[in-house]
Structure 1
């Protein structure tokens, strides 16, 4: 059973900068309040303050946070630590980064009960198994004996929820808990979270940039911009009749827009030809097959000026395909031909010109950009390597690239850590464009970005395609995003290509059942969508022919 949460006049500063400015709101037991807004709006900073916590360099400068009868900010540090994991718990975005890989899942899930002295180990384990059942985890009696790497991302996310709930907290904070998951896994996790919150009548705060997800989870929405409240209202009211212009902007960005430029035509030259490509990881046997085969017999053609999307769940082989085309992973069978010339299987064997013409943009700009080098140095390196530029020509080209990706020239002297997520992804894209490539491999380039920033990056990519004629192989698990950007969609599952769908056929069938499943699994921007999905799933389960089609 949850306790009422009351926040009054909350302000958080970092030096002379105000990150959160005079926020006030309340949440009742059994209710979910969503905090939404762009990156840097103060969502996570506010959520952490509900536990009395401020990140390094930040301080809670004013306000009151009350959970039930407890004034959180009036407690000393030791009592605040005793509060966390018991009175209030936190479910983070990345479960993989939250678990210790060297300890079993059960050891970590029951750890809060030991820290707070809540119960004996046997009782804690029994409680954990019950939570595993409530969260619809497979084999609840035995999954705790596994290690984190032995379960899927969606399962690990639910296991982190079990860890957060085992102390029966009065307030649960969910911070982007499904952002890193593919769409079909996201549905399972959302169902589990919503069911547990409802059944336990927990008080919950849900941090997200995804309005479609929020529409399924939240009773009320608080819209944040630059640390200030733009709007606070019931979810239905926000979705149907937002009062604030910024909220209207968020809603517009959440609705997919067609961005495909139609550059490729029937007489376009073949640029990339993938034939019977197979590859994987691990030791290679006598026949040249790796221990773990990820891709099997993939065939794909991409023409100049074309954008092809590759979709599928986590583990379907999407990123492995991009890595093989880029030369980062050696195929065990098949060939990759680029602009009429066979590509050597590894980067080390390819010619410099081939390296220049195929560039890759990774999902996480945080890890793709060297944190110790300025943006100037990051962009200068490919210009010097591929183009031999120095001095004034180098300076001018760096400025042109920043202009191209719509970044102010002043960012050139800054480090990546001083930029927002969207700005870092634009730098990532500018670095790829510095080589003047013919093909850019885009690996989940918007999945870590908030809705407004992601929409801006997609608009930019469409514009670059029109202006530069660059081609894209666009890897994603978000079918709506791929539909908005690409001319064709390749559907993958378990390392195999199931089908390829042209733009003209996106909305008309018949399609492969798995394509239809992915299409249905993308949350719609309306309340009741998840309830409709549950009813449809129940009806499908009762129909043998439907079960067989989806198997």
Structure 2
């Protein structure tokens, strides 16, 4: 069978501008080749910087951020798309090849209704409006969107994140493309929503017969939708083959490491001492809103242990962190630290309260001042809490950099010179600089590649053993919970629906919501998502 998409010996370069140095060309993709047939899905997987998105966009002859295709060939239906002029590319982009981005919220115009945006490209091809809208409504129904006949009249902010992601998939399918590029379409979604979107994507691909490139860093996700998988690293192909072979019999060490990441388990340890943190009957609501966002939350966290707060988006996990840190005073209840009630508002808390409770945020990029060096970032809490300056502070910064496995040579670097994992390690060092009793970790690995995330989790475990610090770990990823938690609290709609030691919470019998969360964790085997789709159809009375 002739291939729909053929990429041969692709080479892509960009110009780097190192501070204080002359610009130089760097190779982003080096000699990658692939072949994709009609109706098939190829998964592109690899860590950040592997070249996944760059290769995907090359199928549209597009390079963002100054990226240039400098060698090789890209053929779509036998046409050399690199040789197309502007007019030819306009006929390919948005018609023959479409694109689904990672962040649906950033891809939509907030001032225009969904239907207008979904059918825009289809109308530009000369399709009558009535026919374009009928096609869009059929896709809304196929993708499982509620009220498919009227959802197009809504604005982007009037639908959930998972629904918006499915609307963007409908927008990509509406022009009738031959190839769709899915670029991390479920990364920002919670586990239950992720499975809904994956199921919708898989069914849409199967029903429409389009070919697809599915870009992700999650091997378990790509195993559900792909017929073949290409593993990439540093812009080169590590290995490529059928999904079953890549998952069950990987040939290369790097692929075997990707497969093993989700098998990390946290060793059990007994409770030790009175709670360092007690959340006692906390109810909270945001100013101006009558409804409670947290209802009667009571939890304990012992020294040196990790309590994972688990739940889907909107369950109240991050709101609970805001209450604990004093950013949102509770309407009822109190927060006790080492048995003493702490003031409900951040501005009322003393330096000891601030020092002993630290927080590490999800997005390390926005948590650091880009104009400060790593040494300055880590050194600020040393000066604020302990009065360290000069050589004394520099020595402690160097010790902390060694603790987080970076080394003192990183002290003079700026955040822009660090990888995602290195940035998160710097944030961990900044929190440790205060010598806290408790660190709140808010989705600290969700934006990281699997191997990088595994390194961060192992680092947190080692530091806990050495420093005795307790962690409140907020996440929606059950695989991460298994790797880091001693105790678990499952939250749903502002309430704790299940809590206790990890073996107890993750063992049946389950309440309905916990069972849904556990069932929504993708497995690394083919056919699992098909089973989920079939089960849901039977439950809804479908065929």
Q: 2:264 aligns with which of 240, 244, 257?
A: 257
Where do residues 207-222 of structure 1 align in structure 2 (5 Å cutoff)? 207-222=215-230
Residue 99 of structure 2 is aligned to residue 86 of structure 1? no
**By how many angstroms is 1:292 displaced?**
4.4
d(CA) in 1 for partners of 2:379 and 2:90?
Answer: 46
**By how many angstroms is 1:160 displaced?**
0.9
Q: 2:31 aligns with which of 22, 26, 46?
A: 22
d(CA) in 2 for partners of 1:174 and 1:216?
Answer: 14
Structure 1 residues 169 and 370, CA gap change in structure 2 (3 angstroms) = farther
**By how many angstroms is 1:528 displaced?**
1.2
Residue 149 of structure 2 is aligned to residue 138 of structure 1? no
d(CA) in 1 for partners of 2:103 and 2:222?
Answer: 18
d(CA) in 1 for partners of 2:516 and 2:447?
Answer: 23
Is the CA contact (8 Å cut-off) linking 1:172 and 1:202 kept in structure 2?
yes
d(CA) in 1 for partners of 2:145 and 2:539?
Answer: 21
d(CA) in 2 for partners of 1:385 and 1:215?
Answer: 48
Structure 1 residues 383 and 216, CA gap change in structure 2 (3 angstroms) = same
d(CA) in 2 for partners of 1:481 and 1:413?
Answer: 32
**Counterpart residue number, 2:10:** 10
**By how many angstroms is 1:398 displaced?**
1.5
Residue 279 of structure 2 is aligned to residue 274 of structure 1? yes
* Secondary structure at the counterpart of residue 410 of structure 1: helix
d(CA) in 1 for partners of 2:111 and 2:148?
Answer: 20
* Secondary structure at the counterpart of residue 275 of structure 1: strand
**Counterpart residue number, 1:106:** 115
**By how many angstroms is 1:539 displaced?**
4.8
Residue 432 of structure 2 is aligned to residue 441 of structure 1? no
Structure 1 residues 408 and 82, CA gap change in structure 2 (3 angstroms) = farther
Cα deviations by residue, 1:203-242 (Å, 9 ceiling, x for unpaired): 1000111111111110101010111001011111111111
**By how many angstroms is 1:537 displaced?**
3.3
Q: 1:121 aligns with which of 129, 141, 166?
A: 129
Where do residues 465-544 of structure 1 align in structure 2 (5 Å cutoff)? 465-541=464-540
* Secondary structure at the counterpart of residue 281 of structure 1: coil
Residue 207 of structure 2 is aligned to residue 202 of structure 1? no
What is the RMSD computed on CA atoms of the aligned residues? Answer: 1.9
Structure 1 residues 75 and 414, CA gap change in structure 2 (3 angstroms) = farther
Where do residues 396-475 of structure 1 align in structure 2 (5 Å cutoff)? 396-475=395-474
Residue 318 of structure 2 is aligned to residue 319 of structure 1? yes
* Secondary structure at the counterpart of residue 293 of structure 2: strand
Is the CA contact (8 Å cut-off) linking 1:263 and 1:305 kept in structure 2?
no
* Secondary structure at the counterpart of residue 426 of structure 1: helix
Is the CA contact (8 Å cut-off) linking 1:14 and 1:59 kept in structure 2?
yes
Structure 1 residues 444 and 131, CA gap change in structure 2 (3 angstroms) = same
Is the CA contact (8 Å cut-off) linking 2:498 and 2:505 kept in structure 1?
no
**By how many angstroms is 1:504 displaced?**
3.2
Q: 1:40 aligns with which of 15, 36, 49?
A: 49
Size of the aligned set, in residue pairs, is 532
171-180 or 387-396, which moves further after superposition?
387-396
Is the CA contact (8 Å cut-off) linking 1:8 and 1:25 kept in structure 2?
yes
**Counterpart residue number, 1:287:** none
**Counterpart residue number, 1:286:** none
d(CA) in 2 for partners of 1:351 and 1:82?
Answer: 63
**Counterpart residue number, 1:239:** 247
**Counterpart residue number, 1:227:** 235
**By how many angstroms is 1:343 displaced?**
1.6
d(CA) in 2 for partners of 1:496 and 1:219?
Answer: 40
Question: Structure 2: which 5+ runs fail to align?
Answer: 16-24
TM-score normalized with structure 2 length: 0.94
Is the CA contact (8 Å cut-off) linking 1:118 and 1:167 kept in structure 2?
no
d(CA) in 2 for partners of 1:205 and 1:444?
Answer: 28
